[in-house]
Amino acid sequence: MKRRGADNRYYGQFFLAMTVSIVVTIAVLSIILYVHFERISLKQAYDGTMERLEQTTQEASVMSVTAATFAKQIYSDPHVANLLNFPNADAIDVSTAVKQLNNYRETSPFIDSIYVYNAKARTFYVSSDMSVPSVFAESEFYDQEMAEMVSRLNDFETLMPIPRKLKIEGLAGNIAEKERDTYTFLLYDTLTRSGRKNVVVVNIKETQLHKLIDGSLTNDATNSFVIDAAGRLVSSSWKYPMLSDMRQASYISRVLEAPEGTGYFAEQVDGVKSLVSYTEPDYLGWRYIRIVPYSQITAQIMDMRNKTIVIAGSILLAGLALSYLVSRRLYAGLSHKLSRLGKLEAENREALAARRSDWLKSLLKDGGDTDALRVKRNFERYGIPLDPQEAFRVVMLAIDDYGTFSEQYTAQDRRLIRFGMQNIAQEIMHASGLAAVAVDMGEDHAACLIQAQHPGSMDNDRLSDIWATIQSSVLGYLKLSVTLSVSGNGDGINAVNALYESALEASYYRLFEGNGAVIYTADVEAKKARTYDYPTGKEKQLLEELMLGRMTQVKQLFAEIFDEAANYSYMSFQLAVTRLSFALQNTLRAMNQHHAADGELAVPSLHLYTNYKVQSLEELKTSYMTLFAAVGQRLDERKRSRHDDLPDRIKALIESRYADPNLSLDMLSEELGLSATYLGRIFKQHTYQTILGYISEVRMNRVRALLAETNDPVGEIAERAGFANNPYFYKAFKKYNGVTPAEYRKNSRQRQEEGEDAILA
């Protein structure tokens, strides 16, 4: 009995000591993990915020580039040039130019309105989605702020966004809106420094950029906005309207006083401790700021800490109460604790792998910390066999036919397959004498950072064999086709970001090279160095052939433009296809306006070749060829349905409008919505005479009748019949009738008198 009591006390004391030790260990480990995870959470929140802000920066840049492109196209448009250069443009020119402005505005949902200002006429020509006139005198223009701005254009930088509020309260058809937030872009002659100037104004809606910056329209815990160098809001948020002065806020002052670059800090914002993240000023001078409550970032960490305290306290109390009763089960308890420690270690290893991946991504995508000593320590910390002071190369592995790949596998399976692809690449490179580390960069690609371990390992011929081995191995093991893009050599860790960007850009050329290609950045740079001149003449010829319905010639011309652009840089190709698509869209819109009942024919998406749906040039070209085939079929149907009655319709129009001196083949073409060449050919096939000849015949018949029936002056009769030029009329009449108008009248009267005498006799 004494031995059992001593054993119980022994086990009880031992259990108590172990319980306290475990509780202390858990508490200390939890505190360390809490502090560490808090830093990780802040860094991850900052990284996520910066990715979102960088996307917003790119969208703002795209907005600016798009607005500048549209402004330049409008400025150089021959129809709009009539409004800019002639103070007294006629109604037809104004109508044509305004229609063209409407076409430009309807091309993009971001455009609010377009103004064309003629400085000599002091007149604004307007394209807007509101029910307002198209022409305004400067003094009567509803946008008086713009009317004031054109008087001091030199104060504004051309093609740079000007945030402002467009006053529209009281306009016809506008009941609820009082003003609109817009970004205004001005394009004018910068060489002339004095006097008023002609200007093209493009107003871009702020709502699109606002959705990207801060999609919340209600009271949300987070807040994102954009400020300029003076601390003014250049985008709306749910808290403050656009153009609000934010300098009174201490955190804004801190951002404005911060050195150039991105960063984050914790500060009280409206009484709430928050994480404030900010970007460096972009080329517009704008800074992008996001505010996230600190509690939202650390909520899970705080929950883990509280649970840890409760669990540790419960274990201590239970150990004190049950130490004597459960001493014999001590070792089972120890096994349970060891199991929990093993789980904590596994979680720590997973966290280390995640930090390793995030650090490598940051190094490649953003440049990261390029201090050689700190990078070397991180290489050692994460087990990366690279030297920051040696030459690097970056190899991009892009998954081909990603659309099919994503449909076949779940997100988890896709992540595992990408991990397998990285391991295969690393193993082959290590076996081939290269030091390499791979990192997953996104849904469809991974990147490898490589160095030579032995002399000659980076030889291009040897590397070509390695790339082929990687591609064949990935295809064999994972049933996956990959395209490789290979950068040149970069000297030291500072070059890694530039190498990655060049390899990423080279991966876009898969569109030209095809799936399973190996693309070198040196070849890409050679293509980029070539100057591409867009074939404006061929475009014009193509559009003319399209209007005439000659689909064979259309397809041939399109293929020539398309194939020629494919021999230049990716950007040149993209711009060429975009421009050609825009021209086709305008032409088809004009054709559809005259045949609305037949349904519209749409141009393929301008960005079709930038997503996963298109993998090759042939697929993109086929989509356009399908469109041309549909247009040809539609035109053939229209020709068959209107071919027979077209000459009668032409005759009816001529006979009803012969008195109009402007009646011409072009007027009939516009009225009927068909090309002049087509009208002339069809009319001559059915009547064996030209349209102009028929117009002259109708007019001459009318002149002869009036000469015979009235005593009106010949000049007046000529004008009533549609002859505006008297000398031409006399010449044409004599050529057509063999006598002058006066002689014809005299002969007609004589014949009438002779006829009357014969009747009387």
In this predicted model, what pLDDT tens digit does every residue of 281-321 receive, in sequence order?
Answer: 887 778 888 888 877 777 766 676 677 777 767 776 776 66
Q: Which two tokens stand for residue 599?
A: 């349904």
Q: Is the model's pLDDT at 717 over the cut of 80?
A: yes
pLDDT tens digits for 434-457?
A: 889 999 887 788 999 998 876 555
Q: Comparing C-alpha atoms, which of 103, 127, 126 is closest to residue 589?
A: 103
Residue 706 sits in a domain whose CATH number is 1.10.10.60
Q: Which helix (H) or strand (E) is 345 found in, with range?
A: helix 330-365
Only one residue has tokens 């990192």, namely: 439
Q: How far apart are CA 187 and CA 190, in angstroms?
A: 9
Q: Comparing C-alpha atoms, which of 288, 74, 109, 112 is closest to residue 198?
A: 74
Per the CB < 8 A criterion, the answer to whether 457 and 464 are in contact is no
pLDDT tens digits for 116-143?
A: 998 888 999 999 888 788 899 888 888 8
Return the percentage of the chain with pLDDT > 90, whole number: 8
Q: How far apart are CA 649 and CA 655, in angstroms?
A: 10
Residues 560 and 701 in one domain: no
Residues 413 and 486 in one domain: yes
Residues 517 and 600 in one domain: no
Neighbours of 696 (CB within 10 A): 17
Residues 693 and 557 in one domain: no
315 lies in some domain = yes
pLDDT tens digits for 538-572?
A: 888 888 888 877 888 989 999 999 889 888 888 88
186 lies in some domain = yes
Residues 543 and 556 in one domain: yes
62 lies in some domain = no
Q: Comparing C-alpha atoms, which of 422, 563, 412, 392 is closest to residue 488?
A: 392
277 lies in some domain = no
81 to 199, 327, 537: CA distances (angstroms): 11, 97, 20
Residues 134 and 34 in one domain: no
Only one residue has tokens 């198209």, namely: 134
Residues 88 and 199 in one domain: yes
> Model confidence at 643, in pLDDT bands (50, 70, 90)?
low
Q: Comparing C-alpha atoms, which of 621, 520, 643 is closest to residue 561?
A: 621
Per the CB < 8 A criterion, the answer to whether 561 and 580 are in contact is yes
Residues 360 and 502 in one domain: yes
pLDDT tens digits for 143-176?
A: 888 888 888 888 888 988 999 988 887 675 565 6
Q: Which two tokens stand for residue 233?
A: 């809001």
205 lies in some domain = yes
DSSP state of 233: B
Q: By residue range, what is the domain housing residue 595?
A: 536-635
Neighbours of 62 (CB within 10 A): 12
Q: How far apart are CA 448 and CA 451, in angstroms?
A: 10
pLDDT tens digits for 466-518?
A: 889 999 999 999 989 999 999 888 888 888 898 999 989 888 888 888 888 99
Residues 547 and 458 in one domain: no
Residues 85 and 142 in one domain: yes
267 lies in some domain = no
Measured in whole angstroms, how far is the alpha carbon of residue 470 from the centre of its chain?
34
List beta partners, residue 483. 398
193 lies in some domain = yes
The domain total for the chain is 5
**Mean pLDDT score, 397-417:** 88
Q: How far apart are CA 714 and CA 731, in angstroms?
A: 13
Q: Which of 191, 210, 229 is the last residue of a domain?
A: 210
Say what the pLDDT of residue 475 is: 93
Residues 88 and 34 in one domain: no
239 lies in some domain = no
Residue 468 sits in a domain whose CATH number is 3.30.70.270
Q: Is the model's pLDDT at 395 over the cut of 90?
A: yes
Residues 97 and 152 in one domain: yes
Q: Which of 185, 210, 235 is the last residue of a domain?
A: 210
Say what the pLDDT of residue 641 is: 58
Q: Which of 635, 660, 688 is the last residue of a domain?
A: 635
